[in-house]
Structure 1
């Protein structure tokens, strides 16, 4: 059945967006997603969390399809429990980037997400997990972070705000990595050129869908490339000002089921659409998966 609105693909961030602060999915949100699915729309989780930290939530959603994880560095097939596509961050480049950042702002504390469906989150001494519910393994020294291939590095500074740390990192890292800010206490380094938009483009292509029928939800600056790629971007009321500035509309907060509010409007018989961004095709061409491929 064709979706009753212009949207056939719903891309949702997790933390601060679809999830409430206690990492739970509300019954209202689950019902709204189920209604959209019955109307023919596909749902894709697009998150900074690595695949192993997403599996339990996909189980709660009853999802056996694809998910975009690791800030776009992983396309995960939940049904097969395997990565269809992944990009790792070169560990020597990661170390070099950390050295440049510390030369600029002083000591930072680091963690890494290992690549793979069974990869661990490793944290060095002094690093505090921004999400205490997520499992992590503490190592004795920074060198232990590089024992296995990684998808990204997570950074915290004892004094600087996330915005200040991200700005300082961008000023010195250059092409060594992409710097993102994905939540309170979460500044990250990921493979250069990889964003949520690159992973979303690959997953959508695999599903036979494109940006022109994609509805995206998010709350942080790392969602900006996804909003640029999608036809319509919805920021949460609790979203970072940078994301609100480029959003097509702002819904209620994640605690007030902001994703469900929009889906109920669009898939509950009312097809009220927000404005569509001008020149979308030209702006999203940079995210098209031209040289990358995904397994059939």
Structure 2
């Protein structure tokens, strides 16, 4: 299948961006949850030039910690769609906001009244919080651990950061649209990946978490470069100076991106970072974006 390719001539100086914010799934990581050698080298080069790398992900802190260990990350990470600011070195949350469980139940009931039976899961708050799934819920990302509980009521046993929803027949876009139409101010509705429609605290997005982390680091939006692949990354792109969507990104994110790079499987992040920060033995070049 042929692909039309556009050449993106955005030749920013290596020092133009001091903060690199990357989503994980579908963006920095490949489909098997690994980070390529090329992406690892490009990030190392950028940080050697003085930039800071910040993971900004929908995954809760407990599901991010092993990846940060692999990356050698001892700094901050924005987790849970912006609901958690995690200090990997100290293994503690510097900031977190929970989703009121009564509001979550009410929102869930409103959505079910609109679209019929749903299957739900929750991410518990805290650095050791569990992901609980009710009967019938299937984890969209099978490598992430989860604990099955016998009844929906058991989901609300501890404070939670978000609710994950699945519908037996509606698409993610259809479910997200229906949910937004009925939950109002009870929660923020996001779509962060295939089979992943979520409810999180009202007003909390990746942008709010990224802004908090940037302030903690003494950095600002005008020097922030963001990478993502799903609609939940739109607020982050709106906040950052420059948003780069992956070739595999959702059309809604591509529509607001400043640039489109190659897919996560093709080291799309590395392509951009090599252009901006260079590589050992290689000068700056042109990034390839998929039209």
Question: Does TM, normalized by the shorter one, top 0.5?
Answer: yes
Instruction: Select 1:230's aligned residue among 230, 240, 243.
Output: 240
CA distance in 2, matches of 1:4, 1:17: 21
CA distance in 2, matches of 1:45, 1:29: 14
Contact 1:111 1:154 in 2 (8 A): yes
- Aligned partner of 2:68 in structure 1 is 58
CA distance in 1, matches of 2:253, 2:113: 29
Say how many residue pairs are matched.
Answer: 272
1:72 aligns with 2:86: no
Instruction: Kindly report which structure 2 residues correspond to 1:249-260, keeping only aligned pairs within 5 A, or say none.
Output: 249-260=259-270
CA shift, 1:272, in A, is: 7.1
Show structure 2 runs of 5+ residues with no match: 1-12
CA distance in 1, matches of 2:209, 2:110: 27
Show structure 1 runs of 5+ residues with no match: 274-296
- Aligned partner of 2:127 in structure 1 is 117
Considering only aligned residues, what root-mean-square deviation do their CA atoms show, in Å?
A: 1.3
CA shift, 1:5, in A, is: 3.0
CA shift, 1:4, in A, is: 2.5
CA distance in 1, matches of 2:118, 2:275: 44
- Aligned partner of 1:166 in structure 2 is 176
Instruction: Select 1:191's aligned residue among 190, 201, 221.
Output: 201
Please state whether the residue corresponding to 1:31 is helix, strand or coil: helix
**TM-score normalised by length of structure 2:** 0.92
- Aligned partner of 1:248 in structure 2 is 258
CA distance in 2, matches of 1:226, 1:272: 24
CA distance in 2, matches of 1:123, 1:230: 34
Instruction: Select 1:133's aligned residue among 143, 147, 163.
Output: 143
CA shift, 1:60, in A, is: 1.1
- Aligned partner of 1:144 in structure 2 is 154
Please state whether the residue corresponding to 1:262 is helix, strand or coil: helix
CA distance in 2, matches of 1:270, 1:230: 23
Looking at both structures, which has the greater relative contact order when contacts are Cα pairs under 8 Å and sequence separation is at least 6? 2
- Aligned partner of 2:8 in structure 1 is none
CA shift, 1:7, in A, is: 0.3
Instruction: Select 1:90's aligned residue among 92, 95, 100.
Output: 100
CA distance in 2, matches of 1:5, 1:271: 16
